[in-house]
Structure 1
Amino acid sequence: MKQRIKSFFLFTMLLVATLSFAQERITGTVNDATGAPLPGASVAVKNGSDATSTDANGTFTLSTSKLSGQVVISFLGYNSQTVDFTITAGTPLNLGTITLAEASQELEGVVIVGKGVIDLAQDRRTPVAVSNISRKEIQEKAGNQEFPEVMKNTPGIYVASQAGGYGDSKMYVRGFDQTNTAFMLNGQPINGMEDGNMYWSNWSGMTDVANSVQVQRGLGSSKLAMSSVGGTVNIVTKATDLKQGGFAQSIIGNNNFVKTTAGYNTGLMQNGFGVSAMLTKWSGDGYNRGTYGEGYNYFLSFGYKANDKHLFNFLVFGAPQWHDQNFTKPLSQYMQYGRKYNNNYGFLWGDYLSERRNYYHKPVANFNWDYTISDKMNLSTVLYASWGRGGGTGNWGNARKRTDDEHIDFNAIYKANQALTDGIGNVSNAYAIRNSVNNHAWYGVVSNFNHKITDNFSYNAGIDLRTYKGTHYREISNFLGLSGFQVPGAGVKGGNQQYPDGFVVTEQYSANPWSAFVNKPANNQKVNYDYDERISYAGIFGQAEYATDDFSAFVQGALSNQSHVRWDRWQYTKENEKSAKVTNAGYNIKGGASYNIAEGHTVFANAGFYSRQPYHDNIYLNFGNQVNPLTKNEKITGLEAGYRFRNTYVDADVNVYRTTWKNRVTTTSTTDADGNETFDNNSGVSQLHTGVELEFTAHPAKQLDVRGFGSFGDWKYDDNVYKRKFDQNQNLISEEIVDVKDGKVGGGAQSVLGLGAVYKITKGLSIDADWRNYDKLYATVVTKNNVELPSYDLVDAGVTYRLNFKDNSLQFRVNVNNVFDEVYITELTTANPVTDGATTYKGINVTNNGFFGNGRTWNFSMRYNF
């Protein structure tokens, strides 16, 4: 490990040392009239080929061989500006801040997304630990990868590959999983309200509509009444494009991946209206066997500029999809059957059939209103709603049969089912495929008022209101030759307590994201469980900031109240189906300051404390109405400090952090060789995460951009836990107090190094590559003696070629991920130690369940802009 670090820094120093002084440098910052940066603005030398664009902070570095001339700064929707320059050879020239005025007639940019609600770090002058991913990078590098993959070249981020199937990636920030990282879509929170989880399959269209992504690690700049432990990921989508035009794109990739996308924008018309639309169709076989998938993405945005004070935008976005899944399994099975092995499928009379399929459709709609009250006061409001329909399939009944190679023998199952009396089966003697349905309706509003009292002092205040109704039950998806399935009634363990004599289920429902919107089985056509839950949330938040040219300070605070109630129509009689209502208050407060110690040098420090309400799934015991007396607010304390360096050639950031987390509740799942899941629930978990992160970008030459990052953490458990184990039917198996103090926190690699470069060969042609090393990666188990996975290296590379015409452009892109086909374990869900006589793989006991990461993958895209 030490040798890797030495090599990383040596390579970095050599690259930076190659700075070419033959090119003169012009730097500056481009803002709009409100002082907000304009990322992606074009900066070019007039009558020449030297050009660049601004980054997410609006800053630019332009290389040129000319000592005098004019620089033209332009941005869609704003009036261009021309600036004269004269350079003393060898001395960089800083043009300072250039302000572009909004075009009064023909607006051509991207607009209207509730700017005051979206919590980008640029909204606050006091720094936080932040990384930005541009639209250009998302478009070029996403290809057939999932959305979390676009964030893997930033410090503190670990993405477990999509070995489970399309949309099944997991993301960790500073060692905290995605249930404890806040994900925001145009200012709208999108983590699940029941458990905080992110199901990326529901957001498969994000790479098509995201304009930019900002990863705020740690405390972040979020003003909302929510507590992000790992950090906040702000996803800003495109809204109504104000320039007329469109695009068509086609992508092909490994394992028969095909994706076609088309979009068109009317532009802002004379009546103030504009419409943008996009539609995508994709399909693929999946990297591992039996992980087929198919889906659509749609996006529709209506914009209206009533006048200079009022901007409106209505947006609808959805990604209906289905994908077959692979689960973690013992490494010994991979060694026997190959790294792409999946035992969740089989064949029925010669036709492929999977036992495990995820299917979901989650349309999201939001209405944004930006109201410019005066030149010092603004109000931004977003109303949003989402309606999720779908679930996942699995076995129902214990009569599963397997072939000699451990695949599911559906032919034998079908024959055994038909041999039953009257074709009626039950849990002990039959087998069917069921849908676990997870439907919801979610409504909310976020509103933020900003008042700039003086040039140095401003404040924000706002509200965050949400209500969520979830409906959960199981239904039969495929009877596999049965005529019906017997469900026991009241007085029988596992029976429906509202039906004294039980009933026979005879209807089946397709595992399809479209039909899920109309599937409404009667209560006597459900199996295993049937319950609803209501979660209501109300919060207020505020922020005040004082800033001068060299010093800034801020304080933020939020108060929230959350209530929970559930209705269980399975385990309780009609009179007792409603649970007690549980109400919890929470709050957070954070503050910080920064100081510019010299030009280009800034130091900052932030601190915060969160009292976060427990998730709904941790409040009620054993998936029933009994309230868990051990559940209480989680306590999180965050401390961080940083240093920023900015000059003509190099931008660098260094951050250190310390996060303590008490009263945490975790739940992990394990699937055995027969496909049966068990769940481990741990209460009272205490964690301590400390670490250091660094990130830099350099411009050694006109044609070369270099970036690198490193994150080095020490994440461990800090106390004992109360552990409960459940089977897949939510029955309690065991409970105990477990000593886990000083055990390593798993899931995310605690040490990551990365280095990347982009080289522009000729006009329109460039190549790029990224290398990453992962070390100190442990199993996702809350235990004292955790298992460490072998470290590994990955290299991704790509080539871009762009042809520009008068009004159109054509771009070709090739990506190759894991260029050297590295074989590595990306995740372990058990922590079995190596014992005498145990078979091992790279030092790991092969009885452990896990995933191998994807080998070499590729994609090729062609995009036409008009």
Structure 2
Amino acid sequence: MKKITFLFMMFLLAMVGETFAQGTVTGIVFDSESNGPLPGANILEVRTSNGTSTDFDGKFSIKVTNPTGMINISYVGFGSKNVAYDVTNGDQDLGTISLSLDNSLEEIVIVGTGVVDLAEDRKTPVAVSTIRASEIQEKAVGNVELPDAIKSTPSVFVSNQTGFGDGALFVRGFDDTNTAILLNGQPINSQEDGRVFWSNWAGISDIANAIQVQRGLGSSKLAISSVGGTVNIVMKAANRTRGGYARFLGGNDSYSKGTLAYDTGMNDKGWAFSVLVDYWQAHRKWAEGTYGQGQNYFFAAGYKPNDTHAFNFLITGAPQSHGQRFSQRNTERFDANSRFNENWGYSEDFNPAANAGNGQYTSKVDSERANYYHKPVANLNWDWNISEKSQLSSVLYASWGRGGSVGPRGARAQRTEDPDGDGPLIGQIDFYNTEQENLAIAGGIGGGRTGYIRRNSVNNHQWYGLISNFNTELTEKISWNVGVDFRLYRGDHFRQITDFHGLQGWEDDRPDGGVVTEAYDSNPWAALFNFADEDQRIDYDYSENINYQGVFSQIEYAGDKFSAFFQGAVSNQSYVREGRFIDEGLGKSDQLNKVGYNLKGGVGYTINDSNTLYLNAGYYSRQPFLDNVFQNIRSSNDLVQPEVDNEDITGVEAGYRFRAGRFNLDFNAYYTNWDNRVILSTGRVDLNPVPTPDEDDDILVNVFDRGVNQIHVGAEVEFRYKATDWLDFKGYVSGGSWRFNGTTQKEQYNDDTNELVSSESNLNLSGVKVDVAPQFTSGFGVRAKVIAGLSVDGNIDYYAQQYLDDPETRGLQTRNIGTIKPYSLTDLGLTYDFKFDTQSLVFRANAYNVFDEVRAQATNDFGFIYTNGITFNASIRYKF
């Protein structure tokens, strides 16, 4: 009994001690410039996971776990602040706490600060625009892809091709193959051709803390393939603050998406964990037949054992599949129905258990053109604060891409009649009658032009890399850093059959004459492990090995008025092709090594607190893409002769910054000379001199334009104005002149035989305009807080001077045929944030292209690309 009494008394004393140890701290957080409240600011008791956030009026209340200590107050876009408290003698009201605007993103980069190349890390300015997490999660979620978050910035154009994740991004007239896309500082452009497939990154908008668009030379230290600029996506790490959210989002054409996320916060042992999962689906995006389905997962574990070291591990992926609307050749059909898509039709699934066990066929939307992919990405960050002046930051990363694209092979599919009844068979694909034709083939074996199948063009890869950067302050005004960038890449490319459409096998498509009998699902999860063995592959089968080793360094002087930097990098890249089909491409090719480098420097001068001038210049010697090195990457180990040289890029830019309280303005002017460029394209050539309506005698050719010179000059203005604490404006204007210059060597190779079809020297391109993006853009945006918790926003973007090439001759010659009529796209949004205690319920609605502006937007090798019509979504998010 005495022991029980003793234990009870000890328990009471502990409870009393705990009670005395705790207290409540309150306060109000304000914007120092607008003198308005900051709703949603993070409040964290330092060295604990105890946290809360401010309500709509900027007020907070937190029950602290220690009698004295510090609370950290932070808000994205503002400098954080530590404030001491003391509740020894009771609760404490800290009163009004003001935060100042801070263009730095330091507060959201928890790990990897040395390898995430943010513009703020360098004092000498660059042309940059930053989009923060709140805007990304408002405008680039659901049935709108990540690039749409940055479309309202100078010299940026997003081509909204129909099909989930099929959009394209252009910066200063350069596509994403020539714009470096970085994820937490690591490159994600394809090692083979520089392309970025946004469908592989469908979940990034949910886990992105910020996107920074550095146009032109930028601040990146890597020797990367950056001509137009650098887009750095800052991904979240394991969050230090405890909390989570659940969200449901719905949109047009039956789009639906559900998301769950939770952060444990950092415990007293320095561990923190974050997790996010979601699922989405839709029967179409905009055009007919563009169905889609996918998931997103994210897991991060952070560990901070002390103030010297910090670690973060994460893995994320976004498996997806979607139907596509390839570029459309039939403009008349499109004019009659803007949702028309010539690439889809209805197929039938047989369910043997239906209809009381008698089985039943059900029709479903199916596409001749589709994409499926799964690209898990993992990385491990380590930040080491060696001393007050020196830091080492490293990231070890890996990705494993599995999947490919679906397309037709063999005879052409049957089509339904023209719905108008006054034209040829240009309706939808008739999968049923196509299968009936296959079933009538003797022996059930197709091949060549006999029978119709759908194939998967498989693009698997393994990619491993290491980036490490050491930074030190040599003096109070001089800093220096040096780092390494290593990459190991292997890509495996082949074709396999995904649907025989009634056939029993497929022949005449392998060098050994074998008959292929197995089909493989176009499923992103199955694609991880289930793909064709070598004896079941068709058309082509090869691998590519690319190894990259780079070293970079930068030194910067930053005085009170004057700043200057000099930066250099050198890299070696090796290429090896390994073929398994066709005599010319069997075995491994010889290894080709190319050395590249870049040099850039700049100066900045701060006239006063409001005015800054800068001038930057740089030169790149960039290694060619692997796809440009070989005569025919699908079937030949032979290098293009003479050997492809490095591309030469020279850039100069000047700028002016104005900062005065509520108003910010940036002006940039640029000149980019891209010389010795190689352009690889495809086309068709009719070798029959006698005109014939039958196009089947055309041959597919690979076209090499060599020694191409492009000159891009332009200017940009961007401003932001916080008129009051409830009204914000922003806008931009950018104009350029992007053109080809001089002559080029054009060669055409037969895609099947690799034979040279034609060669033309001194082909004059002077004066031909670059046609990939509009050369004049402007935009205006506004955000207004209507009442407590309710805000509305809108953007209008205007596009003009976009040149067109003829899709029938594109790839065979480059000539402008006119311009696209200028047009504008208007987006509107509404947010209602209802806060209660430490939780909130947020409703968000978006309408994109509200005036339903649908038109031809660009051309490519196959036809016209069109804009989407009006698109909308709405979500409800519960944050706890």
Could you tell me the TM-score, scaled by structure 1's length? 0.84
Say whether the 8 Å CA contact 1:556–1:590 is kept in structure 2. Answer: yes
CA distance in 2, matches of 1:364, 1:156: 30
Say whether the 8 Å CA contact 2:53–2:838 is kept in structure 1. Answer: no
Give the equivalent residue in structure 1 for 2:641: 629
Give the equivalent residue in structure 2 for 1:569: 580
Q: 1:511 aligns with which of 514, 522, 530?
A: 522
Query: What secondary structure is seen at the aligned counterpart in 2 of 1:179?
Result: helix
Q: 1:721 aligns with which of 732, 738, 744?
A: 744
Give the equivalent residue in structure 1 for 2:873: 859
Query: What secondary structure is seen at the aligned counterpart in 2 of 1:212?
Result: strand
CA distance in 1, matches of 2:531, 2:524: 14
CA distance in 2, matches of 1:392, 1:674: 24
**Pairing 1:305–2:298 present:** no
Give the equivalent residue in structure 1 for 2:339: 340
**How big is each residue's C-alpha offset from its partner over 1:133-159, in whole Å with a ceiling of 9 and x where there is no partner?**
010100111232011100001101000
Q: 2:389 aligns with which of 376, 379, 386?
A: 376
Give the equivalent residue in structure 2 for 1:455: 476
CA distance in 2, matches of 1:765, 1:388: 42
Shift of 1:47: 7.4
Say whether the 8 Å CA contact 1:72–1:82 is kept in structure 2. Answer: no
Taking only the aligned residue pairs, the percentage that are identical comes to 45
Give the 5 Å matches for 1:639-678: 639-668=652-681
**Pairing 1:600–2:613 present:** no
CA distance in 1, matches of 2:101, 2:490: 52
CA distance in 1, matches of 2:454, 2:193: 25
Query: What secondary structure is seen at the aligned counterpart in 1 of 2:816?
Result: coil
Shift of 1:785: 3.1
CA distance in 1, matches of 2:429, 2:258: 34
Query: What secondary structure is seen at the aligned counterpart in 2 of 1:593?
Result: strand
Say whether the 8 Å CA contact 2:104–2:120 is kept in structure 1. Answer: no
Give the equivalent residue in structure 1 for 2:445: 424
Structure 1 stretch displaced more, 185-194 or 337-346: 337-346
Q: 1:140 aligns with which of 129, 135, 138?
A: 138
CA distance change for structure 1 residues 447 and 259 in 2, over 3 Å: closer, same or farther? Answer: same
Shift of 1:222: 0.1
Shift of 1:812: 0.4
Amino acid at match of 1:510: D
Shift of 1:268: 0.9
Give the 5 Å matches for 1:6-25: 25=34
Say whether the 8 Å CA contact 1:157–1:174 is kept in structure 2. Answer: yes
Give the equivalent residue in structure 2 for 1:740: 765
Give the equivalent residue in structure 1 for 2:417: 404
Q: 2:213 aligns with which of 212, 215, 229?
A: 215
Give the equivalent residue in structure 2 for 1:557: 568
CA distance change for structure 1 residues 736 and 98 in 2, over 3 Å: closer, same or farther? Answer: closer
Say whether the 8 Å CA contact 2:53–2:60 is kept in structure 1. Answer: no
Amino acid at match of 1:251: L
Give the equivalent residue in structure 1 for 2:398: 385
> What are structure 1's unaligned runs of at least 5 residues?
1-22, 31-39, 61-70, 75-79, 86-92, 103-108, 489-494, 831-847
CA distance change for structure 1 residues 520 and 291 in 2, over 3 Å: closer, same or farther? Answer: closer
Shift of 1:266: 1.2
**How big is each residue's C-alpha offset from its partner over 1:779-815, in whole Å with a ceiling of 9 and x where there is no partner?**
3657243531111011111111001111101100111
Say whether the 8 Å CA contact 2:594–2:623 is kept in structure 1. Answer: yes
**How big is each residue's C-alpha offset from its partner over 1:49-82, in whole Å with a ceiling of 9 and x where there is no partner?**
9xxx98876469xxxxxxxxxx9989xxxxx997
Q: 1:821 aligns with which of 817, 838, 852?
A: 852
Give the equivalent residue in structure 2 for 1:757: 782
Amino acid at match of 1:235: I
CA distance change for structure 1 residues 97 and 475 in 2, over 3 Å: closer, same or farther? Answer: closer
Shift of 1:453: 1.7
**How big is each residue's C-alpha offset from its partner over 1:360-379, in whole Å with a ceiling of 9 and x where there is no partner?**
00000000000000000000
**Pairing 1:474–2:499 present:** no
Say whether the 8 Å CA contact 2:564–2:601 is kept in structure 1. Answer: yes
**How big is each residue's C-alpha offset from its partner over 1:465-524, in whole Å with a ceiling of 9 and x where there is no partner?**
001000000111111111111135xxxxxx52xx3xx11101111111111112242222
Say whether the 8 Å CA contact 1:113–1:186 is kept in structure 2. Answer: no
Give the equivalent residue in structure 2 for 1:834: none
Shift of 1:337: 4.3
CA distance in 2, matches of 1:773, 1:111: 34
Shift of 1:115: 0.8
Say whether the 8 Å CA contact 1:73–1:81 is kept in structure 2. Answer: no
Query: What secondary structure is seen at the aligned counterpart in 2 of 1:140?
Result: helix
CA distance in 2, matches of 1:699, 1:859: 28
Amino acid at match of 1:816: A
CA distance in 2, matches of 1:145, 1:208: 12
Amino acid at match of 1:265: D
Say whether the 8 Å CA contact 1:592–1:605 is kept in structure 2. Answer: yes
Say whether the 8 Å CA contact 1:111–1:240 is kept in structure 2. Answer: no
Say whether the 8 Å CA contact 2:679–2:704 is kept in structure 1. Answer: yes
Amino acid at match of 2:487: R
CA distance in 2, matches of 1:257, 1:730: 45
Shift of 1:856: 1.1
Amino acid at match of 1:736: E
> What are structure 2's unaligned runs of at least 5 residues?
1-31, 42-51, 62-72, 85-91, 349-362, 419-425, 686-693
Say whether the 8 Å CA contact 1:186–1:235 is kept in structure 2. Answer: yes
Amino acid at match of 2:127: A
CA distance change for structure 1 residues 95 and 337 in 2, over 3 Å: closer, same or farther? Answer: closer
**How big is each residue's C-alpha offset from its partner over 1:419-459, in whole Å with a ceiling of 9 and x where there is no partner?**
22211111121211111100000000000000012220101
Q: 2:711 aligns with which of 669, 672, 688?
A: 688
Give the 5 Å matches for 1:692-703: 692-703=715-726
Query: What secondary structure is seen at the aligned counterpart in 2 of 1:511?
Result: coil
CA distance change for structure 1 residues 212 and 393 in 2, over 3 Å: closer, same or farther? Answer: same
CA distance in 1, matches of 2:452, 2:846: 43
Shift of 1:48: 11
Query: What secondary structure is seen at the aligned counterpart in 2 of 1:334?
Result: helix
Give the equivalent residue in structure 1 for 2:240: 242
CA distance in 2, matches of 1:768, 1:54: 24
Say whether the 8 Å CA contact 1:282–1:296 is kept in structure 2. Answer: yes
**How big is each residue's C-alpha offset from its partner over 1:332-358, in whole Å with a ceiling of 9 and x where there is no partner?**
243454111111122235443211110
Shift of 1:84: 8.2
Q: 1:255 aligns with which of 253, 256, 263?
A: 253
CA distance in 2, matches of 1:655, 1:529: 47
Q: 2:559 aligns with which of 548, 553, 557?
A: 548
CA distance in 1, matches of 2:231, 2:265: 29
Shift of 1:245: 1.2
Amino acid at match of 1:554: F
CA distance change for structure 1 residues 457 and 561 in 2, over 3 Å: closer, same or farther? Answer: same
Say whether the 8 Å CA contact 2:328–2:342 is kept in structure 1. Answer: no
Say whether the 8 Å CA contact 1:298–1:318 is kept in structure 2. Answer: yes
Shift of 1:722: 3.0
**How big is each residue's C-alpha offset from its partner over 1:160-208, in whole Å with a ceiling of 9 and x where there is no partner?**
0132x00100010000000000011011110000000000000000111
**How big is each residue's C-alpha offset from its partner over 1:679-709, in whole Å with a ceiling of 9 and x where there is no partner?**
6542221100000000000012221100000
Amino acid at match of 1:591: G
Shift of 1:762: 1.3
CA distance in 1, matches of 2:547, 2:104: 43
**Pairing 1:775–2:808 present:** no
Give the 5 Å matches for 1:266-345: 266-284=264-282, 285-330=284-329, 332-335=331-334, 337-345=336-344
Amino acid at match of 2:589: S
**How big is each residue's C-alpha offset from its partner over 1:374-420, in whole Å with a ceiling of 9 and x where there is no partner?**
00000000000000000011112134332223222222221222222
Amino acid at match of 1:562: Q
**Pairing 1:439–2:460 present:** yes
Could you tell me the TM-score, scaled by structure 2's length? 0.83
CA distance in 2, matches of 1:627, 1:141: 45
CA distance change for structure 1 residues 170 and 680 in 2, over 3 Å: closer, same or farther? Answer: farther
Shift of 1:668: 4.3
